[in-house]
Amino acid sequence: MTTFLTPRQHADRTAATVEAAVAAGRGLGLTVTGPAVLHDVFSVVVHLAPSPVVARIPTVLPRPDDLAALARRQQDELDVTRWLADRGVPVIAPSPLVPREPVQRGGFSMTFWPFVEGARDREPDYGANAESVADLHAALRAYPGRRLEFLSAADPRFIADGLALLGGHPDLIGAAELDRARREWRLLEPLVRSRSAFEARFPGAGLQPIHGDSPPANIFNAVDGDLYADFELVTLGPVEWDLAALGPEHEAAYDRGARRNGTRPLDGEVLAFVNALGMLRVIATLTLVPQLPELMEYLKPAVDDWQTRPFAGGVSL
């Protein structure tokens, strides 16, 4: 039987992250007297008021004890956002009030960002966001981040470990669905594990630095204009990964942006691959439901929809 985090345990975890963020902020010389939680899902985001600084602390993680690996990812995010900001790209860059590096405190690893006022009266325009991602990709093409790994955002270890672990949790996924997911993974895994295998299968795709985590959904509506945000999964990959699972309307919007700035449109075969791969990552994310039980209400409809789609998105080797 799967053990799920209780509301009290969730509250205690949030309180521990706030305590760690306040201690870390004060240790960096910030004045913190009224910390406020702005967001609490996969990460806890804390405004270290009255300082104009926000701490972001990931809490729902596949490997919560591997703080070194998390810190490497966080450093990549800090580096790429600072690089983009230096070139005039509208992005939430690291806070200039503290060193640009992750800080570990109380068993957590955190990063620090400026407090940005949101435009509360404006709803996100995901079509316009998808079109603007082509501009972000055009800017990222020149990023020299040599540490970026091929499709690390897909986290093949997480998928492989997750599909293995789910065998012991029939309350999270049925046996038939898990069997299908494992068979799809056997087909797709070589293309994720090996850059050369991917490039041989999709020779025209091209690889470049990309956001890694659905950037149309991670554009912050600030009072002074939209800002690209949340580069926690920045990676090297095909641009299609950033449009995975968003559907034809948003794909068409991206292609409009690509035509406008002279970059390539999306490739249908690569889209089929990243959509199928993204769904396997959704299946693996079921293993995080014990840490965040409300996740199930978001994941179940996606899993139900996946079962109506062609095996492995129709991808063949």
How do the residues of the chain divide into helix, strand and coil, expressed in percent and rounded to 5? 50, 15, 35
- pLDDT tens for residues 268-298? 999 999 999 999 999 999 999 999 999 999 9
| Cβ 117 vs Cβ 222: under 8 Å | yes
Burial letters for 45-84: b for 16+ Cβ neighbours within 10 Å, e otherwise? Answer: bbbbbebebbbbbbbbbbeeeebeebbebbebbbbbbebb
What value, to the nearest 5°, has the Cα angle with vertex 216 and ends 83 and 289?
Answer: 100
Place of tokens 């075969």: 269
The pLDDT value recorded for residue 123 is: 87
Provide the mean pLDDT of the chain. Answer: 96
Q: Helices 156-165 and 268-285: crossing angle, nearest 10°?
A: 50
* Annotation: CATH topology of 126-314: Aminoglycoside 3'-phosphotransferase; Chain: A, domain 2 (3.90.1200)
CATH 3.30.200.20 assigned to domain 7-114? The reply is yes
Which DSSP symbol is given to 95? P
Radius of gyration of the chain (CA): 20
- pLDDT tens for residues 210-258? 999 999 999 999 999 999 999 999 999 999 999 999 999 999 999 999 9
* Same fold for the pair 7-114 and 126-314: no
Domain boundaries, the chain: 7-114, 126-314
Task: Report the alpha-carbon distance of residue 158 to residue 80 in Å, rounded.
Answer: 24
Among 106, 115, 103, residue whose Cα is nearest residue 28: 103
Mean pLDDT to the nearest integer, 15-42: 98
